[in-house]
A and B are shown apart, each in its own frame.
Chain A
């Protein structure tokens, strides 16, 4: 590694700008909070507590700022709407990252604020600037009660949000994170105890907000921080309403590889290619919403998702749909055999099986879907060359995009898009059988052989037997023996630097895009979905190959 953690996280140009603005604002608020407390004549009694009260007030204002920001990146629907207009300004796809930055900052300032208050209350008791004990303030007054509660909620939320816990047990994270509701209530109610006042006793009144602003001289920050909270709450309600709209599970297809394809009909659901949705099956769990990539194109009459049975919930769903492990195992076995079975003009690897709801079994369960939510691949049509890279399961969003491109191509309406390079890096091809069948369709439908190029890289170690098998079967065969595509499978990891530099040379030489003017800058957009290690390698390649004539941009999707 040429750069250390600090350089990577804090000094990369975009990060640096973000850090200066983000932390700059924090320090500004801290300074302002400190200053406005220290110079307030009305609060001279409190100012007898000196630095600790200035610190607590400064940090309090910073926390109000963070409390207002923490929900903003979670306004998924708002972000989906504003994103296309604001991509130039901020990477809206990095919303979870931003949420985490706010949370880290919040933890730090909570430490400062709490520490200062422990000193404050200690000194209040000692000097009796107010006739009360530290204990009274800590455990009988609104400010400190909500404060202690918020701290405890933070402990629970932060620990269960650790990426390891989240990966082990998403439910633990999901349910615990809903403590945020109580956290936000605590935040808005934090100042209702009227701790910052110029009178010895709190000046409570009978009308909202139940303390008079004449003597209670807090920042009234709740007036600002409550809006993201209201928006978020409204959004959750809206999501609930939207999810309740007529939705019908029309078909369940079980693919040979074990993936279940759910075809859902919901007329009110509008989306674009590359987006994802949340799905809920009340029969399996009445509370859990699970994110899945949409695999159908907007032109399809249904919304489909492909679900592999890998976790508790997906297994439960499989059982409920009658596609339990035994069914899948049979199919998979048949699929593996399908390698030798050449049935039709182009061999398919066993066919998918439609689960028939009429055959005396239970009817198909009710489903609810929520979404769609954004993904950067929506902008494919704004670039001349789209490089789509899917790694492993990360290939799923491209199912929708490729289908969509195919539909648009048929209508002769592909925007500025001239070529599509599709890369699929995966460990073992057979486990993504359903995707192969989709690729077959798309590949077979290509009129212009240069428009879509499929590159498949298989990274698994192959045995000697398999090597010979491939070497012999591959020679002269029309279809690749592994994927049954016309495209040959490549083995080993792709060399991104070489790929991009070849592409750049080809574009610059005018071979790659016939008919384009060399004076114009060619835009090559890379859309990647997969693990972040790979993302970094590709991004580096993109950045280093960007030249005067070719601009390589990079976007990554998150799950």
Chain B
């Protein structure tokens, strides 16, 4: 009972979204598809959906070379390191920054919405970002964990 600590809940959503996106990006490299190719695209049988010419740029960076997918994988690893957190980030100012997470989650959402497998990753990332925004609005702070708490013999 009591009050929900929004940034703690958001962390779980963020971790879910990030792991989902990571997995999606991996499959996105194997099965490359620009999510928005239906806009102006034509369906041919056989051959599938032929994207319109004016989205050629996105076809280049998603289908011809999986630039977006690799980018988002790196991004997701970085976010994962921040959220989990990785040992070298623990206790640093970056680790305690909620705004940084919001920015990164929005970045992740934007990148994920570009490729076919990423849409749910976008939705979950935005959910986490909303949660963190709520945490900011409520003035929540990520406090530095108190040392020596509950660690027998080290106090």
Contact = CB atoms under 8 A, between A and B. Distances in A.
Interface in A122-159: 122, 125-128, 131, 133-135, 138, 148, 151-152, 155-156, 158-159
B91 to A, nearest CB: 19
B27 A169 contact: no
Nearest to A162: B12
A119 interface: yes
Given A122-B31, A165-B12, A155 B124 contact: yes
Contacts of B45: 128, 131
A119 B32 CA distance: 10
A168 B2 contact: yes
A165 B46 CA distance: 51
Q: Interface extent on B, as a size class?
A: 20 to 34
A169 B2 contact: yes
Contacts of A312: 1-3
B120 A115 contact: no
Nearest to B127: A155
Contacts of B71: none
A172 interface: yes
B33 A122 contact: yes
Nearest to B31: A122
Contact of B9 (A134, A138, A160, A170): A160
Interface in A284-334: 310-314
Nearest to A313: B1
Interface string B13-41: 10011000001100100010100001000
A148 B23 CA distance: 16
Given A111-B23, A128-B48, A169 B4 contact: yes
B9 A152 contact: no
A118 B8 CA distance: 31
Given A128-B46, A151-B120, A134 B2 contact: no
A164 interface: yes
B8 A165 contact: yes
Contacts of A170: 1
A86 B50 CA distance: 61
Interface string B110-137: 0000001101100110010000000000
B5 interface: yes
Given A118-B31, A160-B9, A165-B12, A152 B120 contact: yes
Contacts of A203: none
A121 to B, nearest CB: 9
B56 interface: no
A169 B46 contact: no
B43 A133 contact: yes
A128 B124 CA distance: 30
Nearest to A154: B16
Nearest to A135: B38
A53 to B, nearest CB: 14
A125 B9 contact: no
Nearest to A128: B45
Given A171-B1, A311-B1, A312-B1, A164 B43 contact: no
Contacts of A122: 31, 33, 116
Interface core residue of A155, A162, A164 (most chain B CB under 10 Å): A155
A159 B31 CA distance: 29
Contacts of B74: none
Contact of A159 (B1, B13, B24, B33): B13
A169 B8 CA distance: 11
B129 to A, nearest CB: 14
B108 to A, nearest CB: 15
A169 B1 contact: yes
B49 interface: yes
Given A128-B46, A148-B120, A133 B1 contact: no
A133 B27 contact: no
Interface string A105-127: 00000010001001100100111
Contact of A119 (B5, B16, B31): B31
B128 to A, nearest CB: 9
Interface in A353-396: none
The 3 A-B pairs of least Cβ separation, nearest first, read A311-B1, A128-B45, A169-B4
Given A131-B45, A168-B5, 15 more contacts: A118-B117, A119-B31, A128-B44, A128-B45, A128-B46, A131-B43, A133-B49, A134-B33, A134-B49, A152-B123, A155-B16, A165-B4, A168-B3, A169-B5, A312-B1
Interface of B: 1-5, 8-9, 12-13, 16-17, 23-24, 27, 31, 33, 38, 43-49, 116-117, 119-120, 123-124, 127
6 contacts: A128-B43, A128-B48, A162-B9, A168-B2, A169-B2, A311-B1
